[in-house]
Each structure stands twice: as structure tokens, then as C-alpha cells.
Structure 1
Amino acid sequence: MSRKVLVSGVGMIPFAKPGASDPYPVMAAAATQAALADAGIGYERIQQAYVGYVYGDSTAGQRALYEVGMTGIPVVNVNNNCSTGSTALFLARQAIASGAAECVLALGFEQMTPGALKAAFGDRPSPFERFDAAADELVGNSEIPLALRYFGGAGLAHMQQYGTRLETFAKIRAKASRHAANNPLALFRKEVSVDDVMAAPAVWPGVMTRLMACPPTCGAAAAVLCSEAFAKRHGLESAVWIAAQAMTTDTAKTFTARDMREVVGFGMAREAARQVYEEAGIGADDVDVVELHDCFAHNELISYEALGLCPEGGAEKFVDDGDNTYGGRYVTNPSGGLLSKGHPLGATGLAQCTELVHQLRGTAGARQVEGARVALQHNLGLGGACVVTVYRNQQ
């Protein structure tokens, strides 16, 4: 039988620019200790750990956790591109739901370098070969960095099909900055206007300005998951639980659809959302607050549609109506999202988890979504994997 999985502790550190952060073991240890303190337990209670990072050598997870304690537990290193943090969470949840463990740590961190993402190994086939070929066919512009070309191409496809304006993506970016202004852990807390975003240097004329892309970031975040029985025995926080979770990967349609939105994971997100709504016994209308993968403003827009927050083709109206922020239908990325909070790849999914747990506890301070009871998380990694999670407050 599948057991209920509680999120009893969360923790993260302020995100920083490359070169301005502590080394990864220091960041990871700080986030872990914060999560343990939030849960009210010591590291000796942790029975397994799943540790995510993208740019690091093998067993960096052990190196990070040895700063906290050396108890001999299984430590599993996880790399699933930008969905790495949520993949660690997915595995930790499975361990408890299956009965393999009672209390598990999910940890994610990243110590990044400045500039666009690039492959670490140039002497072997790239996992993005088919994605690059699709982008070459559909959008060209091979001189543009790969992530920008992928997600900019997805936004361009939406613009071409539905007449979506560049200003709509600027509104999403400006919204992110307003939310991040209330988040002391965010990398960028300065508010920017729609005009500021539009006036930023064009990285793809007519498609994207620099402010519509998230920055490389360093940081760490962690969560302590446990069973209900464990929480009762140890008097742990038990308000928030994972009501449903799904991980999907690419299908043949990723490439056969000949649509850049599919190339960047629209179909993966839609299927994962379908699975979690069914498992949780809810619809999108029941969701109060959302943390979704806004690596680019363009991906936030298409994710509204993939997650069922609005109809396909309805994202521009959704934005114009203010249904993506406070006072609207769904508050999306109250943390400031990847665009303003930052995107340390391995930490992102667990930072999203941290934000949503605080929202459901009612402890998000100035960012609090009033009456939040159901939260939705969407974390995407190209190559590809998508993890969608529903959290609920059971009190």
C-alpha cells in the first residue's frame, strides 16, 4: 500500500550569482541544517538521502552531506537536468510511500559558472542531439545559445499561432520581479516594469530580451519527508503532505509534432498534470498557488496552458486579466520564480517545494497567498523529464 508522505521540514539559502556564493558543500550543508531545524530532528534520524546536482563530479552528494554527518546511510546522487531537485524529491517520496524508509532527505544544490549552459563533455554524443536537430529544422538561428533557442522558439511558435505579443512575456517578467521583492532569499529583488523588460537588450530580436531569461545561479535547498507514523512518534510538523506526484519523459511526439513547444516539454507537462490531478482527485480549478518552471518568460506562458490553468491559446488573456498573480485566479511563482529568485539547477525543484510548503503552512510572510490549501509544482528538465507535484494542507 502507498503511505501518506508528509513534508515535515524545508530549508534553503539565499541564492547568489556565480562567484559570489560559498562552495557547494557549504551551501548544501546550510540548506540541510535549515530543513532539519525546521522539522525539529537531527541528521541521525535520516534513513536515506537523495541529492541532486547537475554540474559536479560523482559523489558530490556525499561530499556535501559529510559536512552534516557521517552516519553510513544510503546517499543517492541524482542528475536530471533542470528537474534534478524534483527528481530527488520524487525518489524520496517513493521510498517513504513504499515503506522502504520512514524519514528521508531530499537535497539539491548547484555551484554554477557565468554564461549560457553548455555541455561538460565534448568528446561524446550529446543528449541534446535530437533537440538540436529539431531546433535547426524549426527555428534555425544556430548561433543562439541552445536553451535560449529552444524556449525562445517555443514562445515564437505561440506568437505565430495565437498572435501573442512580446509585451505579454514582458508582463510575466515584471510580475516575477514584483513577487521577488518580498522574498529575502531571491537573487533579484529589484522591481522592473514592462517597459524596462521591453527596453532590455534583445537576445533574439522580436522574440526575447535579456530580462526574459533566468540567470545562472548558485544555491541549495532541502526537504525532510517522513511517514505519518514517524511524524506522530517524534512530534513533527504534519500539516503539509504530498497528495500526488508524477514524473514524465519525452514521447515520440516531442519530435514528430514538429512544434518547438513539444520540444521543450509541453506534452510532458500536460501528461504529468493530468496524472496528478487524477491521483489527487482534483482539477486545476482547485489549485490556489503554483510554482512553475519559468526558466524563460516564454516557458511560463506555455506552461499555463500545459498545466490546465487556462485553455490552449488563452495564455495571453490569462496574463492580461491578471489571473497569474495576487487578486487573480492563481498566484504563480510567489517566490519570484526562476526569473527573479534564480535557477541553481539542482536546487530549483526543492526551492519550489520550500516556497509551497510555507504557503500552505501560512508562513510565507508578505508573499502569503490568502487561504492557500492546494499547491501545484512544475519542474522541467530538457532531455527530458518533468515532475509535477500536488501538495495539500491536511489541517
Structure 2
Amino acid sequence: MSREAIQKALDDAGVSFDSVEAANVGYVFGDSTKGQRAVYEMGRTGIPVVNCNNNCATGSTALYLSRQLIAGNLARCALALGFEKMQKGALGLDGQGDVNPLDKHVDGMTELGGDRGKAPVAPWMFALAGQQHSKQYGTTKEQFAKVAYKNHKHSVNNPYAQFQDEYTLEEILGSKLIFEPLTKLQCSPTSDGAAAAILANEEFVKEHKLEDKAVEIIGMGLATDVENMLLDPISLVGFGMAQMAATKAYTQAGIKATDAQVVELHDCFSTNELLTYEALGLCSEGEGGKLVDEGDNTYGGRWVINPSGGLISKGHPLGASGIAQCAELNWQLRGLAGKRQVDGAKVAIQHNLGLGGAAVVTVYQKYGS
């Protein structure tokens, strides 16, 4: 999978692997030098390879590190790679006798929201955040389900999506209940996959005449949990760090959320997509349900959010998801997204979240805009 992803990225960029001066590789499960093993599929060139693991934000963290190399003039061309081959079933909290990195999150959520019973940890946490949003703002289970309806509908036009089936709202609401209000069709699946991106400085782009293939990263922010994360379920699933990362990225880019046309965000569960609308400043806090009802998250609305089908339909191979989001937004800004193309896309926002925690927000711009 990694070999295929790297080769497709190189072919798309129009460069050879010999041009790559460094690689940052993300994956969540596996031994420590799997990144090197994946890169060696392209040859052993002696370049530095760094492995990173930031839970579900791992892919965009690899992208962040490669961008740092370029911005710091430590490399002219770098690779960001993410991959994952996952075990069947829901993610667990199995440790190796040491402190679990999510212990404070789980303990805090248990204190605030009660026992999870037999529910897997991740949907339980994001379901409780959705329940809190409903209590505070009146958000309905239908509004959460409409997010999944939209993403499944978008995935029909994505040949890279793990699932490409459209469902009715009734089918989504009527699928197996995982934890109220989340049903199975509102949850991201277990997935295998890989994604890669080539980053280069402007000198390299011009030297190799790659202007027509280029998209600019004009802002990028990475943040971790803030002090108030134990206040409520919404804070515990990363709302504050997403806000912080977005502020950093928007400030660097000199934009507002309203300047974007297309967004790929971390819809591990439908509740989190709706919460993230507010964290990213697409609407005010408490108005995520209104944004859904007004259709401002799909074609014909204010933004097209998760045109790829999102994690719910495209799939969520943890280490690859952040770079797969990057690929989708690159295709959108270059007009290469086929039937899912967003008209007039010039600015794009990406959000990738990992509990424990890390949030990465990236702003892209069509080259030369």
C-alpha cells in the first residue's frame, strides 16, 4: 500500500524518488521502524526517515513535520507518508502495563457522563459530546444523522472510498445503535490504507516547472489539549485544541473560515463533524445543527464539507487519514476531483484530530491565487 501511495504521489508531482531528501512517516500500530521499511520499497537512498504517532492525527502530523523541514530550509523536497493495517473490530484501550495515554480523558468522561457499558471507548466519548450539545443547544439526533447522510451521499463519487453506498436518513437512524445518538452508519469503519504527499519549496517547484501541479500550504497549526479539557464531554473530545490549531492556521494564512470553499474535517463520528463546524469557526457555538439544516455543508451551500465522503465513508486507516484529506483537497484545488469537484475552489481547510491529544488544521490555496 505504501509503495503504491508513494509512487502515485511521485507521478502526480512529476518527480523521481531521488529528489526526496527526507521523509516523515505516520502510523499508529506497529514496530518502531515500519516507516523505514515502507520507504525502502522505493529504494535505500540514505535519507533521514522519522516515524511519528499522534493517534488519529498521525497523518497530518507527518505532513506538519515535512512542512517544517521545507519552511526551515532543511530540505527542498520531502515526503509525508501515512499508512495503517488495522485489526478487525472497534479500537480498544489495551495497554502493555504502562499508563494509558487516554486515562485522564476516559476517567473524566466516566465522571461526567457515566458508565459506557459494553460500548467501545471512542463512540462512547463522541456520543456523550453529542448528548451534551443536544442538552445545551437542542441539537437533534436527526441533525447528527444528516451529517452521515451527506457524507455517504458524497462517497458515491469517490473511487477511493471504502464504502460508496448512499443511504436514506431513515436507514441511517435505523441502523444498529452503538451509543445514543450514534448508530453504526454514523461511525467511521475499521480500515486499511495508505496515502502520501510530496512537499517542496518554491525554488524546487519553479526549477522543475511544476507550477501547474502545485498547491500551497499557507497556514498550519498543531495543538494539544488545553487546561479546561476536563470541564465537559465536548472539551474532552478535542474542541479546545481544534479551536487553537484553527486560530494558528488562519493567522498564518491571513484568512477567515468564510474564505474557504471546501473543507475536509475529522468526522470519525457524525457528532464530531457537527461539533467541528463550530470549532473551526464555520458557525457560532450552538449553531452546528442550523448549518446542517440549511445545507451549508454540501453542494449548493456555503461550503462543501467532506466531499470525499469523510472518514465515515472514505474510511479511517488511522495513520493515513490526515494525508488522504490532503490529497482530496489538492485534487479539489487543482480541478481534478471529477464528479465531486467543488466549483470555484481556491481555498481549502483541513482538520485532523487525535484523542490524547493532537489537532492539526491546515489551510491550502490554489497556487498563484
Q: Please point out which of 162, 165, 171 is paired with 2:137.
A: 162
Per the alignment, do residues 40 and 120 of structure 1 end up closer, same or farther by CA in structure 2, a change over 3 Å counting? farther
Q: Which amino acid aligns with 2:166?
A: E
Look up the match of 2:241: 268
1:223 aligns with 2:193: no
Measured in 2, the distance between the counterparts of 1:299 and 1:193 equals 20
Measured in 2, the distance between the counterparts of 1:80 and 1:355 equals 21
Structure 2 length as normaliser, TM-score?
0.98
Measured in 1, the distance between the counterparts of 2:197 and 2:304 equals 22
Measured in 2, the distance between the counterparts of 1:373 and 1:250 equals 31
1:127 aligns with 2:90: no
1:320 aligns with 2:293: yes
Look up the match of 1:47: 21
Q: Which amino acid aligns with 2:42?
A: V
Q: Are the equivalent residues in 2 in contact too, given 1:135–1:149 (CA < 8 A)?
A: no
Q: Which amino acid aligns with 1:286?
A: D
Measured in 1, the distance between the counterparts of 2:285 and 2:44 equals 50
Post-superposition offset of 1:39? 0.6
Post-superposition offset of 1:120? 4.9
Look up the match of 2:320: 347
For structure 1, which segment, 233-242 or 166-175, has the greater mean C-alpha deviation from structure 2 after superposition? Answer: 233-242
Measured in 1, the distance between the counterparts of 2:143 and 2:235 equals 21
Post-superposition offset of 1:229? 0.4
Q: Please point out which of 173, 187, 191 is paired with 1:213.
A: 187
Look up the match of 1:190: 165
1:287 aligns with 2:271: no
The percent identity for this pair of structures is 54
Look up the match of 1:75: 49
SS at match of 1:346: coil
Q: Please point out which of 212, 216, 221 is paired with 1:246.
A: 221
Post-superposition offset of 1:233? 1.4
SS at match of 2:263: strand
Measured in 2, the distance between the counterparts of 1:133 and 1:320 equals 34
Measured in 2, the distance between the counterparts of 1:241 and 1:320 equals 33
Q: Deviations over 1:160-214 (max 9, x none)?
A: 111111011111001001100000000010101111101101112x421111110
SS at match of 2:41: coil
Q: Are the equivalent residues in 1 in contact too, given 2:205–2:214 (CA < 8 A)?
A: no
Look up the match of 1:306: 279
Measured in 2, the distance between the counterparts of 1:178 and 1:203 equals 21
Measured in 2, the distance between the counterparts of 1:82 and 1:307 equals 18
Q: Are the equivalent residues in 2 in contact too, given 1:48–1:101 (CA < 8 A)?
A: yes
Report 1:134-153 matches (<5 A): 134-143=108-117, 144-153=119-128
Per the alignment, do residues 303 and 372 of structure 1 end up closer, same or farther by CA in structure 2, a change over 3 Å counting? same
SS at match of 2:105: helix
Q: Are the equivalent residues in 2 in contact too, given 1:141–1:149 (CA < 8 A)?
A: no
Look up the match of 1:63: 37
Measured in 2, the distance between the counterparts of 1:67 and 1:209 equals 40
Measured in 1, the distance between the counterparts of 2:189 and 2:331 equals 24
Post-superposition offset of 1:282? 1.0
Q: Are the equivalent residues in 2 in contact too, given 1:244–1:391 (CA < 8 A)?
A: yes
SS at match of 2:7: helix
Q: Which amino acid aligns with 2:48?
A: P
Greater than 3 Å deviation, 4+ residue runs: none
Q: Please point out which of 179, 185, 203 is paired with 2:154.
A: 179
Post-superposition offset of 1:122? 3.2
SS at match of 2:320: helix
Q: Deviations over 1:246-302 (max 9, x none)?
A: 0000111111xx211100000011111111111111111101100000000000000
SS at match of 2:88: coil
**How many correspondences in the alignment?**
366
Post-superposition offset of 1:308? 0.5
Post-superposition offset of 1:141? 2.5
Report 1:86-97 matches (<5 A): 86-97=60-71
1:106 aligns with 2:106: no
Q: Which amino acid aligns with 1:189?
A: Q
Q: Which amino acid aligns with 1:254?
A: M
When the two chains are superposed, the root-mean-square deviation of aligned CA atoms in Å is: 0.9
SS at match of 1:242: strand
Q: Are the equivalent residues in 2 in contact too, given 1:266–1:303 (CA < 8 A)?
A: yes
Name stretches of at least 5 consecutive residues in structure 2 with no aligned partner: none
Q: Which amino acid aligns with 1:90?
A: Y
SS at match of 1:267: helix
Report 1:309-388 matches (<5 A): 309-388=282-361
Post-superposition offset of 1:119? 3.5
Q: Are the equivalent residues in 2 in contact too, given 1:103–1:227 (CA < 8 A)?
A: yes
